[in-house]
Amino acid sequence: MWNALTEISDSEFTLEEVDILKKNKNIFKDNIPRKEVEQFFANLPEDIIFDILVKVPASDLHENVRLVCKAWKGMISTSNFIAQNALQVKPKLLIQSVTFMRPLYVKVKAMEVDEERLDYKLSDFELPQSVRVRSSCNGLLLVSDMRKMRVLQVMNLVTKCCLTLPLHPPFCIHKGCGAALGFDPCTKKYKVVHICTLLFRFEIFTIDGSDNAWKRVCGPWKHPFEWPFDLDFRLNDPVLVNERFVHWYVNSDEYIISIDLRNERVIKTHLPDCGKGIDRHRYTLLELDGYLSLVHNASNTQIDVWILEDFHSQIWLKKHSILAESIKYTISNDSSSCSKQENAFPNLSKLVPLACTRKGEILIFKHKSSGTDFRFYLYETKNREMKKFKMTIRGQLFFIPHASSCSHWRTSYGP
């Protein structure tokens, strides 16, 4: 993994930057006289240059644009520019396949969903094969190395910056525990929250904090017998909402566990009241358009989508119901080789929610009977259309929304 890069002074360029700068100027020379180009950009109002550059992908900004001149480098390094540029990015879904036949092997793909055609495409996502992504926040990734399970790192793949967090607690190897990276809008600091898998102890590390140490925070249980799970239960990584609210599934019929990174309080968030209770084995937590969503497999023919409309008042709202009789069901071309049974309309109680896109209008499911051939479904809420796909994939799957940016853990977001 990368070491943290040394900050470059605004008044000088490295040798690598000088070479790229010369190449950029040569490109200008091939078409338009250099003086005309320089004069053209010099006469453009700064706000127009800002509006143009803010639409450039983060990787191009870092690799090329920032090297053109000191003024542009200064502009695209500001917190406001980085935040505005991030809003232009269409998030992707990182699909991680952890292969148990090779415990040290993680395969990561980036999924882009085509909402118009209700289709998708996969591309490679450059990470070492031993690295597992735990969380994504404002373009930064929280990762662990499966060869060094006690190590947690925060990195930006665009800027190649990486920060290794202090080892803590000494007995936790981050296997079966939950960890997430979030942002405190009050202090403008990034925080990593972690639950120890052995004692279910909550800890928070503030990046660039004053003491550079993990801080223990009180959980919602006073005694172990209050836990809604046994000692064999293992936590998954939590759901992050609005970069600030962190939510864990804890195998309960009554509540989940939530943390507001602003006040660092750990609370029980009670499940929505749907009249007959919610089975702990029949719901999944997702982030949906800035809200926590609870997707409940209510029956063989119905899936209900709830959102936590008010975090502090714990008010839930039923956003959508997927009803079997109203679904327009189709199969993709790659499913033509599947059996008639595999391509049949699915039992909705067997569908596991994985993620959502386009502000929650597209839901992604997998079938519980996943073998080598992974049965995968896209559901569009507006037209109530469901499309089945076949994906050859192995191992346990983890889906994480991610949008690239030029952000740094010292970048301040928000007002």
pLDDT tens for each residue of 326-354: 999 999 887 777 778 888 899 999 999 99
- Terminal CA-to-CA distance of the chain, rounded, Å? 33
Least trusted range by pLDDT, from 129-143, 225-239, 303-317: 225-239
Indicate the pTM of the whole model. Answer: 0.84
- Which residues in 34-147 belong to E strands, given as ranges? 92-99, 105-114, 119-124, 131-137, 140-145
Position of tokens 């992504």? 133
**Same-domain status, 60 and 79:** yes
**Same-domain status, 345 and 315:** yes
* 5 is a domain residue: no
Nearest to 407 by CA among 166, 142, 81: 81
**Same-domain status, 161 and 62:** no
Phi, psi of 207 (to 5 degrees): -70, 130
**Same-domain status, 247 and 291:** yes
* Average pLDDT of the residues of the chain: 82
* 105 is a domain residue: yes
- Cα Rg for the chain, rounded, in angstroms? 23
Residue 198 to residue 96: CA distance in whole angstroms: 25
Interval 301-326 mean pLDDT:
96
* 35 is a domain residue: yes
* 259 is a domain residue: yes
Interval 287-308 mean pLDDT:
95
Give helix then strand counts, H and E, for the chain: 7, 25
**Same-domain status, 47 and 153:** no
* 415 is a domain residue: no
Position of tokens 């943390």? 259
DSSP state of 333: G
Among 61, 86, 111, which residue terminates a domain? Answer: 86
pLDDT of residue 204: 94
Least trusted range by pLDDT, from 79-93, 110-124, 239-253, 359-373: 359-373
- What single-letter amino acid sits at 307? I
**Same-domain status, 184 and 36:** no
pLDDT of residue 364: 93
C-alpha triplet 116, 346, 326: angle, nearest 5°? 60
Position of tokens 């052995």? 198
Interval 183-196 mean pLDDT:
91
Query: Has residue 69 got a pLDDT over 90?
Result: no
* 340 is a domain residue: yes
Residue 351 to residue 367: CA distance in whole angstroms: 5
3 state DSSP class of 30: helix
| Contact call for residues 308 and 315 (beta carbons, < 8 A) | yes
Among 45, 60, 86, which residue terminates a domain? Answer: 86
For 238-255, the pLDDT digits (tens) are 999 999 999 999 888 999
**Same-domain status, 114 and 50:** no
**Same-domain status, 25 and 133:** no
**Same-domain status, 232 and 156:** yes
Query: Has residue 284 got a pLDDT over 50?
Result: yes
pLDDT of residue 32: 56
Beta bridge partners of 302: 299, 323
Q: Categorize the per-residue pLDDT at 363 as very low, low, confident or very high, splitting at 50, 70 and 90.
A: very high
Residue 195 to residue 266: CA distance in whole angstroms: 11
Query: Has residue 145 got a pLDDT over 60?
Result: yes
Q: Categorize the per-residue pLDDT at 283 as very low, low, confident or very high, splitting at 50, 70 and 90.
A: very high
| Contact call for residues 80 and 413 (beta carbons, < 8 A) | no
* 34 is a domain residue: yes
pLDDT of residue 11: 32
CA 39 to chain centroid: 42
**Same-domain status, 135 and 221:** yes
Task: Report the CATH number that the domain containing residue 22 is assigned in CATH.
Answer: 1.20.1280
Query: Has residue 5 got a pLDDT over 50?
Result: no
174 vs 159: which has the higher pLDDT:
159
For 190-215, the pLDDT digits (tens) are 999 988 766 667 899 999 888 888 99
Among 39, 63, 86, which residue terminates a domain? Answer: 86
State percent of the chain over pLDDT 70: 80
| Contact call for residues 330 and 117 (beta carbons, < 8 A) | no
**Token reading at 400:** 């994480």
For 23-59, the pLDDT digits (tens) are 444 444 455 555 665 566 677 788 888 888 889 999 8
pLDDT of residue 229: 67
pLDDT of residue 352: 92
Least trusted range by pLDDT, from 103-107, 242-246, 391-395: 391-395
**Same-domain status, 67 and 142:** no
Helices 15-31 and 34-43, axial angle in degrees (round to 10): 100
Nearest to 402 by CA among 157, 188, 175, 115: 157
Residue 276 to residue 280: CA distance in whole angstroms: 13
Nearest to 267 by CA among 247, 237, 240, 287: 247
C-alpha triplet 146, 150, 151: angle, nearest 5°? 80
pLDDT of residue 197: 61
pLDDT of residue 258: 95
Helix (H) or strand (E) holding 397: strand 396-402
**Same-domain status, 157 and 133:** yes
Three-state SS for 343-356 is HCCCCHHHEEEEEE
272 vs 19: which has the higher pLDDT:
272
Assess whether the previous peptide bond of 169 is cis (omega < 30° from 0).
yes
**Pairing verdict, β 105-114 and 92-99:** antiparallel
For 252-268, the pLDDT digits (tens) are 899 999 999 999 999 99
pLDDT of residue 265: 93
| Contact call for residues 412 and 188 (beta carbons, < 8 A) | yes
Task: Report the CATH number that the domain containing residue 383 is assigned in CATH.
Answer: 2.120.10.30
pLDDT of residue 348: 95
Interval 146-158 mean pLDDT:
86
* 10 is a domain residue: no
pLDDT of residue 106: 84
pLDDT of residue 17: 39
pLDDT of residue 1: 42
Instruction: Please state the domain count of the chain.
Output: 2
Query: Has residue 298 got a pLDDT over 50?
Result: yes
Q: Which residues span the domain enclosing 122?
A: 89-402
pLDDT of residue 310: 95
